[in-house]
Amino acid sequence: METLSETITSSALIHTGRVFDLHRHTVTLPNGSESVRDIITHPGAVAVLPIHDDGSVTLIRQFRLATGKVLLEACAGGLGKGELPLDCAKRELAEEVRLAAEDWTEVYAVYVAPGYSSEKIWGYLARGLSDAELPRDEDEFMEIIRVPLEQARAWCLDGTIEDAKTMCLVMAAGAV
């Protein structure tokens, strides 16, 4: 039986960025022919949906240049070097929406776009909320909103929420 693995025969660093690096790999395919793969190397990220005792959830509205518009999202952020996903989730919750949580449920750990990126994102539901605050990153501007979970679900279904990591968390919130 033929293996499905690809073997890297050469690599070049195309770009070093603040958030990710871009590599171009020449690979040998399972059938022996060659191809080129452009791969984003990313340290990973987390997303957190805080669920309040009354069943409402906190989301953020923020402009995303890649889409050219403001999106509704769960709070999220990238892993620091050597940072564990749950530690990152706790930090992002305090930085972005000024909350801390007692109870954490990991809902997913998935690759965002495995065809071209190594980025893996861990999604968490956070309950048992209390006030907390860490300074925001200087380049982050957002509006914090709190809505009933059912409203957030409706927004997932009608296209108001377009962010996949957020949709997954909102839809899982009632099931977990």
Tokens representing 84? 């564990």
Tokens representing 10? 């050469």
Whether 6 is catalytic: no
Rounded distance between C-alpha atoms, residue 93 and residue 131, angstroms: 10
Distances (CA, A) of 130 to 55, 97, 133: 14, 11, 10
| Catalytic hit among 138, 140, 143, 150 | 138
Q: Return the active site residues.
A: 138
